[in-house]
Structure 1
Amino acid sequence: FCSNGKGFTGQKKKSLCLYTPEGEEKRLTPEDMDVENYVVSPDGEKLLAWGPVFKDVKGPFSTLLEIDRKSGATTTLLPGSDFTCKWAGWLEGKVFVTGTDFKKYGVNENAKFFFVEDGKTVCITPELDKGLRNSVGSDCRYGSTDLNLAFFTDGPAAWFVSTDNYRSHLHAVTASGTMEQITKELFSVDDWRVSGGKAAVVGMKGQQLQELYLVDREREIQLTHFNDWLLEECELSAPEHVTFDNGTGEQLDGWYMKPVGFEEGTKYPAILNIHGGPKFTYGDVFFHEMQYWAANGYAVFFCNPRGSDGRGNPFDDIRGKYGTVDYDDLMIFTDWVVEHLPFVDKDRLGVTGGSYGGYMTNWIIGHTDRFKAAASQRSISNWISKMGISDIGYYFVPDQQAADIWSDHEKLWFHSPLKYADRAKTPTLFIHSEEDHRCELT
């Protein structure tokens, strides 16, 4: 009944409608369908629309409809009973989709590519294990289209973006399932459209802000210089990449940033920053928040603990483990920073993060007092109340915590930072919006 960014919805649903030049409106989708997106065929005669169909509780699966533009006749291609379609289109004349059934890894399971035939999905990329989106974090993206799990077809291939470790790349896949990486120089592909074997890409590279690039299989040409002023006018701190062993034999990715105006032999306070998600990832692109701290004399360090995107389902999957293996990874990286970076003052460490990063900040202050200050942003403190109040709580909490308020409320309480709040000694700033319906203020 509520949605983050929309407030109270009262069961209102989005519909797909056709407007005529005369101002007439014609609904093309059923009243009980909440349309997530749609595409139009190259000849303009057909449409594909997808989204959940429901009357009371919105479920996890989506129905896929093919609609005749002229007559309005609809054909149900996927019934929405055991598969969720995330994007749809046509490849070599056949309906082509990304999606998943959530069976093995839950709501965060990586999607695959499928043809739709006779009401069923036929997977052409069974070995694919990539997040089909750009989940590389930055707080300086504006105006980009929501292309989560999207693709655009161009001749015999569909072009898509995936997060590969800590960078995102443009790829192409053919009807046989053969995949090819297109971009190699860009750090982050934020938006794109493809035609004639070339793509117009909005992307990020190094510490540059977004620019427009022309990309093909051989070149990545920067077309605009809207944001050259940043490097010309500002002194920035470049993230320095490291790898570290998290104690299980896995090598994790981390970064540190020296303060602007760094002087050898000087000790600096340092801030651990934790990303949201948890299925997002830090990379080496521009991040204003962290540059601001560096400009004010702080060292900054951050990493991708278990649960982060970009390394496949087994690494991404921390269902039922929140606050355990991820906490271990963050503390081991903090140990690494203190041990290997002589300019970091181990007695002046801070910690912060937002959303899941706020959850981990809350968890940390209840489990250690090594940090002298904390800032918890839009955080989660109680999985029991989140399940009943958050717009996604009724399905996200049981999935991610492997328990619900009826089957095992003790497990939800075990993973709730509020349980350990009486142990907290760290001075903490809590920043939260009253209209945050995703991570509710509870």
Structure 2
Amino acid sequence: MTKRAITTEDFMKLEVFSDPQFSPDGASYAYVSTRVNDKKEYESNLFVQSLNSEKAKQWTFGPHNTSYPRFSPTGKYVVFQSNRSGTSQLWLLPLDGGEARQITTFKNGAGNPEWSKDGKYIIFSAQLEEGDDVTNQKELTKEEKQKQKEENSKKPLHVKNLRYKSDAQGFLDDKKSHIVLYDVEKETFTQLTSGDFHYGYQDISPDGKTILFAGNLNEDNEYELKSDIYALNLDTKEITKITDGEGSYYTATYSPSGKKIAYLGHKHEYLNATLTKIYLYDVETKEHTCLSEGWDIQVGDMIAGDTRLGTSESGPVWSKEEDRLFFIGSNLGATNLYEVNLSGEIKERYNVDSHVFGFTYDPNNNSFVVGVSTPTVPCNFFLLNEANNVKQLTDANRDFIDEVEIGTPEAISFKAEDGWDVHGWLLRPYGFEEGKKYPFVLEIHGGPHVMYGQTFFHEMQLLAAKGYVVLYTNPRGGHGYGQEFVNACRGDYGGGDYRDLMAAVDYAVETYDFIDKERLGVTGGSYGGFMTNWIVGQTNRFKAAVTQRSISNWLSFYGVSDIGYFFNKWQHGYDLLDDPKALWDISPLKYADKVETPLLILHSEQDYRCPIEQGEQLFVTLKHLKKEVEFVRFPGANHELSRSGKPELRVDRLNHICDWFDKYL
């Protein structure tokens, strides 16, 4: 029987897994499952599955966002965070039976809970204002929140800081992220950090005497894009800076003995195009060692997609013997599970041309539960034992997979004009027939320092289902192909990266005779939106274009984006005051009079990363020039609309993209 084609609404039928966590005895694991409910809202709940069972057991229920399950070392409790009370708070679930009880009632919520190694304490993060008392926190009622919202809407926003807004959080206030300790037996709270700084909890030493946190405690921190690892002595309250103050360092974790600390980061050698490195710190000798010296892979998961919800562990994680570290790395369009010994020798533990989006390690058996997505399967968990044998644990979205036609992308590789190898994938249209000509869409990723890869991507599958050949590639500037490659677009936006994309189209048209070269379309978001705007101002070979959350004017981007004040300097080598003409020369808006391609502009009203004025400028200019252009503004959405925006708005967005290409291609 022929399977049906994928539709715009189908992403709402998917179950998305994240954050696997082994139980202390290694016999089972918990995880988070997120889906869109009947009210077309996201809900996430906790599940647990025995390694000897084919079916998981649901732990939490209801239309809430529940996440971050963490087993106590004794196996007696699971702590998790949930907004079931109206604000994200911490809840404690006894594993010998009984209901979960709420343990925090903080006014601004609580999250990211972790246990001390002896299981006596839970350490978590809370947004606190100056003078807040953690021993007397009261969560606001629904009515109090509404009243506060109404009062705030009548007040002017008094801005004093350079960083006063964030795409993720909106307009920022004076609250700071602090670290709080909860005594499970005494049911008391102790604030561990203080002052006008943000503190990011990292780990607690095995002896319970020291915590690690990441942050910037310099007085000029709002002007510095740096982060260090610090140690806080819980007895003396003395803070010691561990890293050198010259870069960005994070994800620090103690070895099982507490003698060493592993952490990630870099010294900004290539600014935000620098590959992340793995470092070791010897607690006794104070010596730092870079384990990844000489590597040319990116530590961490850099794959772009639209069906990943929730966070997951990517490492580094210590082995039981303290002789190895495990982590996820991005390489050649895939993410793999790696291990590295303390001499820096690296080897792959799991590599099947897929997207490893998270893992959990069981020191009892030296085994892993690995979360994996592939281009044809949205997500599943697998057990990877010490001998590298693999056992599938889940069969998520089976009904969906059996019902719809999911295309398998064909990997392509070609030479750019200067000899660089460029990698990508091509999807054939639904119901493909030999001898027939099909319209074509080029997809361009954002970042630019991310990568397309071996993961399930609903938007790509949808366009193929609508009858398009879909090409998505990793032009220079993307991760996964080494330090020189990821740095190659800096100072050259619209140069080599543009030529790579045009070479990709040339290769596809010349190689696949079923592509109708008279019906080519292009789309992309963020950096991909910039590049879409750039392309239509440089060439008329595309008959339709859709630009999303884009950049059209680097001059104004400097002052309106939440990252503009440093992004221009880091990516182009100059900012507004250094060389306004140079910024204007690489601004797509400058070339608006040359645009002949019908252009659809999609933008979110609350996008603070690429603010909507970028779309407005482009629309007004093109419309004033009587070009073929339309503008769609999405209310209440930010830069993340395509990935985690309101489901109904995501459907609208996809429908607009498909309708535009249907109209012109």
**What's the TM-score, normalizing by structure 1?**
0.94
Determine the C-alpha separation between the residues in 2 that align with 1:63 and 1:424: 46
Q: Which residue of 1 aligns with 2:179?
A: 16
Are 1:76 and 2:240 an aligned pair?
yes
Q: What is the aligned counterpart of 2:395 among 225, 250, 261? A: 225
Q: What is the aligned counterpart of 2:292 among 125, 135, 146? A: 125
Please tell me the residue identity of whatever aligns with 2:228: T
Q: Which residue of 2 aligns with 1:153?
A: 318
Please tell me the residue identity of whatever aligns with 1:211: N
Q: Which residue of 2 aligns with 1:247?
A: 417
Q: What is the aligned counterpart of 2:581 among 407, 410, 416? A: 410
1:332 deviation in Å?
0.7
1:33 deviation in Å?
2.5
Contact 2:313 2:360 survives alignment (8 Å): no
Q: How does 1:417-428 map to 2 (within 5 A)?
A: 417-428=588-599
Please tell me the residue identity of whatever aligns with 1:152: V
Cα distance per residue 1:288-342 (max 9 Å; x no partner): 0011111111111111111110111100012111111000000011111111111
Determine the C-alpha separation between the residues in 2 that align with 1:220 and 1:42: 31
Determine the C-alpha separation between the residues in 2 that align with 1:55 and 1:45: 27
Cα distance per residue 1:124-161 (max 9 Å; x no partner): 332122211111222111223374xx411122211111
- State the identity as a percent: 36
Q: Secondary structure at 2:351's aligned position in 1?
A: coil
Q: Secondary structure at 2:556's aligned position in 1?
A: helix
Q: Which residue of 1 aligns with 2:448?
A: 278
Determine the C-alpha separation between the residues in 1 that align with 2:588 and 2:244: 36
Are 1:116 and 2:306 an aligned pair?
no
Contact 2:533 2:547 survives alignment (8 Å): yes
Q: Which residue of 2 aligns with 1:310?
A: 480
Q: How does 1:168-179 map to 2 (within 5 A)?
A: 168-179=335-346
Q: Which residue of 2 aligns with 1:363?
A: 534
Q: How does 1:361-440 map to 2 (within 5 A)?
A: 361-440=532-611
Please tell me the residue identity of whatever aligns with 1:403: Y
Determine the C-alpha separation between the residues in 1 that align with 2:593 and 2:457: 34
Q: What is the aligned counterpart of 2:192 among 28, 42, 48? A: 28
Please tell me the residue identity of whatever aligns with 2:340: V
Q: Which residue of 1 aligns with 2:371?
A: 202
Determine the C-alpha separation between the residues in 2 that align with 1:401 and 1:146: 33
1:407 deviation in Å?
1.3
Determine the C-alpha separation between the residues in 1 that align with 2:492 and 2:272: 15
Q: Structure 1 residues 438 and 119, CA, compared in 2 at 3 Å: closer, same or farther?
A: farther
Q: Structure 1 residues 214 and 243, CA, compared in 2 at 3 Å: closer, same or farther?
A: same
Deviates more, 1:224-233 or 1:109-118: 109-118
1:370 deviation in Å?
0.8
Are 1:65 and 2:235 an aligned pair?
no
Are 1:258 and 2:462 an aligned pair?
no
Q: Structure 1 residues 37 and 415, CA, compared in 2 at 3 Å: closer, same or farther?
A: farther
What root-mean-square deviation, in Å, do the aligned CA atoms of Structure 1 and Structure 2 show?
2.0
Determine the C-alpha separation between the residues in 2 that align with 1:207 and 1:395: 38
Please tell me the residue identity of whatever aligns with 2:303: V
Determine the C-alpha separation between the residues in 1 that align with 2:248 and 2:367: 30
Cα distance per residue 1:182-222 (max 9 Å; x no partner): 10225011011112221111111341111111123512321
Are 1:287 and 2:457 an aligned pair?
yes
Q: Which residue of 1 aligns with 2:503?
A: 332
Q: Secondary structure at 2:443's aligned position in 1?
A: strand
1:90 deviation in Å?
2.1
Contact 1:77 1:116 survives alignment (8 Å): no
Please tell me the residue identity of whatever aligns with 1:133: G
1:391 deviation in Å?
1.3
Q: Secondary structure at 1:271's aligned position in 2?
A: strand
Determine the C-alpha separation between the residues in 1 that align with 2:433 and 2:201: 52
Q: Secondary structure at 2:299's aligned position in 1?
A: coil
Determine the C-alpha separation between the residues in 1 that align with 2:513 and 2:250: 47
Q: Which residue of 1 aligns with 2:212?
A: 48
Cα distance per residue 1:356-376 (max 9 Å; x no partner): 111111111111111111111
Are 1:96 and 2:262 an aligned pair?
yes
Q: Structure 1 residues 346 and 11, CA, compared in 2 at 3 Å: closer, same or farther?
A: farther
Determine the C-alpha separation between the residues in 2 that align with 1:32 and 1:287: 41
Determine the C-alpha separation between the residues in 2 that align with 1:16 and 1:201: 29
Q: Secondary structure at 1:260's aligned position in 2?
A: coil
Q: Secondary structure at 1:14's aligned position in 2?
A: strand
Please tell me the residue identity of whatever aligns with 1:406: L
Cα distance per residue 1:1-23 (max 9 Å; x no partner): 11112101135331112234556
1:380 deviation in Å?
1.1
1:433 deviation in Å?
0.8
Contact 1:252 1:305 survives alignment (8 Å): yes
Determine the C-alpha separation between the residues in 2 that align with 1:72 and 1:207: 54
Are 1:185 and 2:352 an aligned pair?
yes
Determine the C-alpha separation between the residues in 1 that align with 2:531 and 2:266: 28
Q: Structure 1 residues 11 and 169, CA, compared in 2 at 3 Å: closer, same or farther?
A: same
Q: Structure 1 residues 263 and 100, CA, compared in 2 at 3 Å: closer, same or farther?
A: same
Q: Secondary structure at 2:177's aligned position in 1?
A: coil
Deviates more, 1:343-352 or 1:199-208: 199-208
Unaligned runs of 5+ in 2: 1-163, 615-665
1:181 deviation in Å?
1.1
1:79 deviation in Å?
6.0
Cα distance per residue 1:227-260 (max 9 Å; x no partner): 2223211112211111111122222112111110
Q: Which residue of 2 aligns with 1:87?
A: 251
Deviates more, 1:298-307 or 1:150-159: 150-159
Q: Which residue of 1 aligns with 2:380?
A: 211
Contact 1:185 1:220 survives alignment (8 Å): no
Please tell me the residue identity of whatever aligns with 1:280: V
Determine the C-alpha separation between the residues in 1 that align with 2:166 and 2:560: 11
Deviates more, 1:132-141 or 1:20-29: 20-29
Question: Which structure's CA Rg is the greater one?
Answer: 2
1:86 deviation in Å?
2.2
Deviates more, 1:410-419 or 1:371-380: 410-419
1:120 deviation in Å?
6.4
Contact 2:493 2:586 survives alignment (8 Å): yes
Unaligned runs of 5+ in 1: none
Determine the C-alpha separation between the residues in 1 that align with 2:198 and 2:447: 24
Contact 1:53 1:80 survives alignment (8 Å): no
Deviates more, 1:26-35 or 1:176-185: 26-35
> Number of residues paired by the alignment?
438
Q: Secondary structure at 1:413's aligned position in 2?
A: helix
1:346 deviation in Å?
0.8
Q: Structure 1 residues 120 and 360, CA, compared in 2 at 3 Å: closer, same or farther?
A: farther
Q: Which residue of 1 aligns with 2:311?
A: 144
